[in-house]
Amino acid sequence: MEEREISQAVIRRLPRYYRYLGELLEHDVERISSNDLSKRMKVTASQIRQDLNNFGGFGQQGYGYNVKYLYTEIGKILGLDVKHNIIIIGAGNLGQALANYEAFESRGFLLKGIFDVNPKLTGISVRGIPIRTMEDLVDFLKVNEIEIGVLTIPKEYAVEVAGLLTANGVKAIWNFAHIDLNLPPNIVVENVHLSESLMRLSYNITRCNAEQKNEK
């Protein structure tokens, strides 16, 4: 494991490298040059070389990158070789969509529980995992070592539930609730604010329409 600080910008790009390398592996590609990778990923070859150099230069001049090796090493850097126990709070459509996400397991995320306030959902299973009532949450956290909590609940409850989770040992929150959680700095938070993504889309459409009008 590299100890030096890697910029968040590079980190943000790593999952995309990981995805492309995974696709190459699926197609039995053993080696790839930064130029070929550049064409596929629409990133300059020099950017690719620079990014991957952060991790100790997996490339060999004239031979390109060993796809399997690079895939495995980036996986390690991303922590995908470590198992993480994960629970989902909120078993609505979004919560169930995530619960059904099969790639969880292959990336080391083991879904251990699903919780919801709605008593009608209690006992229903998603991929073999029963939905539990929120009243069982704290007891569940005491006997299961849960590292990640996924919040797919309305924003009104998100701050309180995030507090409950982290007070009971959860170290990271994958937050889909449309609110900033303001947790202590030792808690890792990754936000997915879908409505902000939709607003960026809206902005870019408006912009694009305006440009096309100007061209006419």
Chain residues in the site for its own copies (CB under 8 A): 1, 11-12, 14-16, 18-19, 41-42, 77-80, 82, 84, 92-94, 96-98, 100-101, 103-104, 107-109, 147-148, 171-172, 174, 178, 180, 182, 186, 188, 190, 192-210, 212
Tell me phi and psi for residue 66, to 5 degrees.
-80, 110
**Sheet with 59-60, edge to edge strand ranges:** 31-32, 64-66, 59-60
15 vs 123, which CB is nearer to its own copies? 15
Q: How many CB atoms neighbour CB 173 within 10 A?
A: 24
Pick from 149, 112, 111, 115: nearest CA to 132: 115
Q: What's the sign of the alpha-carbon dihedral 54, 58, 61, 64?
A: negative
136 vs 169, which CB is nearer to its own copies? 169
To the nearest whole angstrom, how small is the minimum distance from the Cβ of residue 43 to its own copies? Answer: 11
167 vs 199, which CB is nearer to its own copies? 199
To the nearest whole angstrom, how small is the minimum distance from the Cβ of residue 91 to its own copies? Answer: 10
Residue 158 in tokens: 């998100």
Residue that is written with structure tokens 């230069």 in the block: 57
Contact 80, 110 (CB under 8 A): no
To the nearest whole angstrom, how small is the minimum distance from the Cβ of residue 165 to its own copies? Answer: 14
Give the bridge partners for 114, in sequence order: 88, 131
167 vs 208, which CB is nearer to its own copies? 208
To the nearest whole angstrom, how small is the minimum distance from the Cβ of residue 95 to its own copies? Answer: 8
Q: How many CB atoms neighbour CB 15 within 10 A?
A: 12
First vs last C-alpha separation in the chain: 55
49 vs 155, which CB is nearer to its own copies? 155
To the nearest whole angstrom, how small is the minimum distance from the Cβ of residue 214 to its own copies? Answer: 9
136 vs 205, which CB is nearer to its own copies? 205
Look at residue 5 and give its three-state secondary structure. Answer: coil
To the nearest whole angstrom, how small is the minimum distance from the Cβ of residue 61 to its own copies? Answer: 28
